[in-house]
Amino acid sequence: MTNSVVEAPPAQVPDELTPGRSRWHGLRPFLPLVALVVAAIVPYSTVNLPGFFEGPLNSPGTLQLLAICLVFGGLAAGYDLLFGRTGMLSFGHALYFAAGVYGTDVLVTRAGLPLWQAALLAVTGGTILAALLGAVALRTVGIAFAMVTLAFAQVGAIVVARDFKLGSGEGLTGGEEGLPLDVSGLPAALVGVTNTVNLYWLALAYLTLVVFVVHRVSGSPTGRVLAGLRDDERRIGVLGLDPYRFKLVAFTLAGGLATAGGVVYCLIVGGASPHVTSSELTLSLLVMVVLGGPGTRWGPVLGGILYMYLDHRLTAFGSSDAVENLPAFLSHPLSQPLFVLGTVFILAVYFFPGGLTSLKSRLTPLLTALRRR
């Protein structure tokens, strides 16, 4: 009876009760806006951050990496709507993301539709898919629900890998090799290395949209019911509300948001590859949310951005000289980003259950104790 219990995040101390620390205190509500503006003007900067990025901030490579990070920040925030805010442990979120990626790619490349139609169809299809599969999967709860969503996502992976053929000719999804996006029908502003900056802004817009939607939903009466479901599902039932319907709404919404993320991701990387359907992608979403702090507004976003950044940069770090010169038993594991991230994740589950966002509340007593000396 215990496995649907999710630890509630620690009670927040209302802002007005904490003493105003500085004159910046009044600016806190505007910080997200400031961050958004800074993120929006990053492409105009030519600052070089050696060690953090390969080239200057406005180089296409760096911008693409940042765009991928932003998309995954948004994905993690959408996944948190399920895991952190409703307490549903879904292992099939990759399916809806992949529906966006492959839906757009197949509709543009194989069916020759214009991008806006393809994107619209993909998002609608992904949302309907989430509603249908959610309707079946939500008949189970807890761990069984996790297994069922995992199985559904596996079907997606099989369909993509087997490369089913429609009629004669080439397969639909390109199988193991993936399907590069046919750019000839795309708007010119989204094609080519020089236009990477537009894709970056697109990714930023997606992240903003997801954060806005998740914020509005969790603040609404529906959001309060979802939080209630996370804390005690039976009580919601006793209050006369139908848990099944509310969970289905959250599942469908999160699925739709993930599909939209897939559309953006497909444009950024210029195609689809089968790894987006793998269960590992869902597992890494879970890692992002837990590392960032489930059920918080910014934790999952930060977790997603940081995870993707580390996943990309640790590969370069692992092949750098500093690591190569270590003895083999250290350098081999360190060259595997997943080993490092998996270990960090396990440590985080033990020592920082609230994720990154709880670091502040954990460090404050320590700092005040140090300052008193």
Partner 1 sequence: MSTLVLLTLTGLGVAALYLLVASGLSLVFGLADVLNFAHGLFLGVGAYATWWAADNLPGAGSDGFGFVVAVAFGVLAGTLVAVLVELVLIRPLYSRTIEQVLVTVGLSLAGVALLQATWGADARPFPRPSWTREVTGVLGANVPNAGLLLIVAAAVVLGGLLAFLHWTRYGLVIRAGVENREMVTALGIDVRKAFTLVFAIGGAAAALAGALGGVYFGTVSPGQGGSLLIFAFIVVVIGGMGSVVGSAYAAVAVGLLQQFVNYYGTSGLGDICVVGLLAVVLLLRPQGLAGKVATA
CB of 347 to partner 1, least distance (A): 9
Question: By CB under 8 A, which span of 114-122, 191-199, 247-255, 348-356 interacts with partner 1?
Answer: 348-356
CB of 287 to partner 1, least distance (A): 7
**In a 10 Å sphere around its CB, with 0-12 CB exposed, 13-18 middle and 19+ buried, how is residue 84 labelled?**
buried
CB of 159 to partner 1, least distance (A): 7
Cα separation, 285 vs 248, whole angstroms: 20
Which of 335, 355, 356, 357 forms a contact with partner 1 (CB under 8 A)?
335
Question: By CB under 8 A, which span of 21-29, 74-82, 337-345, 357-365 interacts with partner 1?
Answer: 337-345
Binding flag, residue 275, partner 1 (CB under 8 A): no
Question: By CB under 8 A, which span of 9-17, 193-201, 266-274, 343-351 interacts with partner 1?
Answer: 343-351
Around Cβ 214, how many Cβ atoms within 10 Å?
A: 25
Question: By CB under 8 A, which span of 190-198, 217-225, 243-251, 340-348 interacts with partner 1?
Answer: 340-348
Count of residues interacting with partner 1 (CB under 8 A):
51
Q: Which amino acid does the sequence have at 289? A: V
Are the CB atoms for 311 and 367 separated by under 8 Å? no
Give whichever of 105 and 233 is closer to partner 1, judged by the CB atom.
233
- Return phi, psi of residue 121, to 5°: -60, -45
301-314 burial, b if ≥16 CB within 10 A, otherwise e? bbbbbbbbbbbbbb
Which of 28, 224, 245, 332 forms a contact with partner 1 (CB under 8 A)?
332
Give whichever of 2 and 12 is closer to partner 1, judged by the CB atom.
2
Q: Under DSSP, is residue 272 helix (H, G, I), strand (E, B) or coil?
A: strand
Residues 131-190 interacting with partner 1 (rule: CB under 8 A): 136-137, 139-144, 146-148, 150-152, 154-155, 158-159, 161-162, 164
Binding flag, residue 117, partner 1 (CB under 8 A): no
**In a 10 Å sphere around its CB, with 0-12 CB exposed, 13-18 middle and 19+ buried, how is residue 247 labelled?**
buried
Which tokens sit at 134?
Answer: 């959610």
- Return phi, psi of residue 214, to 5°: -60, -40
- Return phi, psi of residue 52, to 5°: -90, -45
Binding flag, residue 346, partner 1 (CB under 8 A): yes
Which of 345, 354, 355, 357 forms a contact with partner 1 (CB under 8 A)?
345
Handedness of CA 56, 356, 255, 273 (dihedral sign): positive
Residues making contact with partner 1 (CB under 8 A): 1-7, 89, 136-137, 139-144, 146-148, 150-152, 154-155, 158-159, 161-162, 164, 279-280, 283-284, 286-287, 290, 332-333, 335-339, 341-343, 345-346, 349-350, 353
